[in-house]
Chains A and B, each alone.
Chain A
């Protein structure tokens, strides 16, 4: 059972802005950086956002991350069809001494 909670699904039309929430606690999001991953259908995940709001090289600036207290968010602006994927948040948990993933959110482009 994941300690980071995400909505199971989100959707939008092309060009819209979609946001995904990630709720945790003081032992994970509240005290450690949050990372976000994108998993396209049938492929391995890849890092989308690290350290709350940093984009690795090659990730479009349509993707942005933020954190406040024990929650984090991923925003996708200018939604495109190729953004249809599963998205996971993650952070280190100091109480569990483990890296924990969120429950995952499937984004659908209508």
Chain B
């Protein structure tokens, strides 16, 4: 069984909104910091945001502050990324990542977000 499965990507117009979801299959979801990382076509990796186990701490890359919101629902083993005021430069594959820098790290398969008119 795949530990992390993202969904919610797609084509959206500039200025539009999209909500990404990531469902974890393991009951230990609530034990880990979770992150979103994106990769624009043909480009390198860019960390977007992360959230503490209980949701009490959240951090964002400057380029998405005020536009994106990371959240989680431990009862549903789910991580979310609400993306508003989307721009062309937000076009990327978005990865859900469990414990980005630890022995239990795992990356989902990614979901593609395309911002274009």
On whether the beta carbons of B47 and A100 are closer than 8 Å, the reply is yes
B45 at the interface (CB under 8 A from A): yes
In the assembled complex, the Cα of A35 lies from the Cα of B35 at a distance in Å of 15
Q: What string of 1s and 0s marks CB contacts (under 8 Å) between A79-110 and chain B?
A: 00000001010100000111111111000000
B62 at the interface (CB under 8 A from A): yes
Q: Choose from B61, B100, B104 the contact partner of A35 (Cβ within 8 Å).
A: B100
On whether the beta carbons of A44 and B45 are closer than 8 Å, the reply is no
- Pick the interface stretch among B12-20, B66-74, B81-89, B107-115: B107-115
In the assembled complex, the Cα of A104 lies from the Cα of B45 at a distance in Å of 8
Q: Choose from A44, A86, A101, A103 the contact partner of B47 (Cβ within 8 Å).
A: A101
In the assembled complex, the Cα of A103 lies from the Cα of B100 at a distance in Å of 17
A47 at the interface (CB under 8 A from B): yes
B101 at the interface (CB under 8 A from A): yes
On whether the beta carbons of B107 and A54 are closer than 8 Å, the reply is no
Q: Choose from B61, B104, B107 the contact partner of A44 (Cβ within 8 Å).
A: B107
Interface residues of B (CB under 8 A from A): 35, 37, 44-47, 50, 59-62, 95, 100-110
Interface residues of A (CB under 8 A from B): 2, 33, 35, 37, 39, 44-47, 50-51, 54, 56-57, 86, 88, 90, 96-104
Top 5 A-B residue pairs of the complex, sorted by shortest distance between their CB atoms: A47-B105, A99-B47, A35-B101, A104-B44, A44-B107
